[in-house]
Structure 1
Amino acid sequence: MADIPSHHYIYGTCADYITGETIVDTDDERCRQDLARLLVEEKGYAKKDLEPRLSIETLYNGQFVASTIDITVREAGKRFMLLRFAPGSIVTRERSAIAAARVLEPAYRIPLAVVTNGRDAEVLDTGTGKVIGQGLDKIPDKKAAEYLVKSLRFEPFDDETKKDRERRILNAYDVEICCAGGPCALPGAPEG
């Protein structure tokens, strides 16, 4: 086995496109920043419509996990869509994105979730769990969002048993998601 000192290359720091905050510059973060630029420059959202790096914290079986929601999008004062980025296969990220959309907002289930690897995307209906759009071009733009929020269902997700199940799903799926700003879950890595 190769002796690899770290599994993430850190380039230094960069300014977050949405907030201007200084953040750790990694390959994954560069993809997240490209996603933010896509939403503003191509999809027409204002930076104030976007909330980066929200977190859902869970603790099950002694395993603490902070699940990051890369970008949450608001329209007409409501969070209507969240986006989660991860490299690789996007189909493996569907269930955790749906779980996040069901528990992030205390008042209602966020109706849409997007999973992306930066090159492809799936838009998911978080009520049914079904893929309703495939490709970055299917992510709703600002104009579409203005109409969508009138027809989307912002249903309460207040059954505590169901909420607990969704948080458990997040905890299980995101346990190995790491690292910038948090401990790395990979055994033997210097960050962990």
Structure 2
Amino acid sequence: MHETSLGGTLRDYLSGEEIDETTFEEFRQLLARLLVEEKGYPKNLLKAKVPLQYCVEDKEFERVIDFVLYDKQNRPVFLVMFCAGDVATFERETVCAARLIDGGPVPYALVTDTMDATLLDVRTGDEVARGMNAVPDYARLMKMVEAAEIKPLTEEQREKQTRVFHTYCGFVCGDHCECSLPPMPDFPLKK
């Protein structure tokens, strides 16, 4: 399912600015409130709709990451992706995004549809926790981040992750793809 405009605007929880109302924006706003009000994430360190730009075969692409949490030195430490569909379907894409984000990789990432969630260890790609209780509070997350072993990707690793990420983005009809099929050819019907 694509994110589409609903023709209106709403006030963004994090920035306070008027933004386009879309089919997914209400869910993003709920996630932002959950992270800040219930989980204690500092509003000023949480950025929404962070572009992840990448290149495949000399073509530029961009995928918007729903939320990235930065530390006080402006380094990304946590990534949250909203999905419309089975959360497990988006886990690998989320891990790839967390490895490729500018300034990353980040140690942990979360994928959620706001009813279910998976917390992922980005280094291993393994599930750390599942369910909406898997969303760590800020203090716990910072302890996890501090203890995490994270290394920058080599060029070869980055190339491989980019290709996998691009494939998943296209598979689930991310922002870079067209989801239109060519018209079916006319075939005479047999009687």
CA distance in 1, matches of 2:44, 2:162: 28
Q: Deviations over 1:17-48 (max 9, x none)?
A: 11123221123111011000000010011211
Any idea what SS the aligned residue of 2:24 has?
helix
- Partner of 2:187 in structure 1? none
Runs of 4+ that moved beyond 6 A = none
Structure 1 counterpart of 2:100, from 103, 108, 113: 103
Larger relative contact order (CA 8 Å, sep ≥ 6): 1
* Residues 53 and 60, structure 2, Cα contact 8 Å, conserved in 1: yes
Out of 164-173 and 39-48, give the one that drifted further: 164-173
| Runs of 5+ unmatched residues, structure 1 | 1-5
CA distance in 2, matches of 1:109, 1:87: 24
CA distance in 2, matches of 1:112, 1:76: 17
TM-score (norm: length of structure 1): 0.82
What value does the CA root-mean-square deviation take over the aligned residues? 2.2
Q: Deviations over 1:93-124 (max 9, x none)?
A: 11111111111133x42110111111110000
Shift of the alpha carbon at 1:74?
2.5
Identity within the alignment, %: 31
Q: How many residues align?
A: 177
Matches within 5 A, 1:34-113: 34-61=30-57, 64-77=60-73, 78-106=75-103, 108-113=104-109
Shift of the alpha carbon at 1:184?
6.8
Q: Deviations over 1:60-113 (max 9, x none)?
A: 35765311111011245342210000111111111111111111133x421101
Any idea what SS the aligned residue of 1:41 has?
helix
CA distance in 2, matches of 1:57, 1:63: 11
Shift of the alpha carbon at 1:187?
2.0
1:162 equivalent in alignment to 2:157: yes
* Residues 52 and 72, structure 1, Cα contact 8 Å, conserved in 2: yes
| Runs of 5+ unmatched residues, structure 2 | 182-191
TM-score (norm: length of structure 2): 0.83
Kindly name which structure, 1 or 2, has the bigger radius of gyration based on alpha carbons: 2
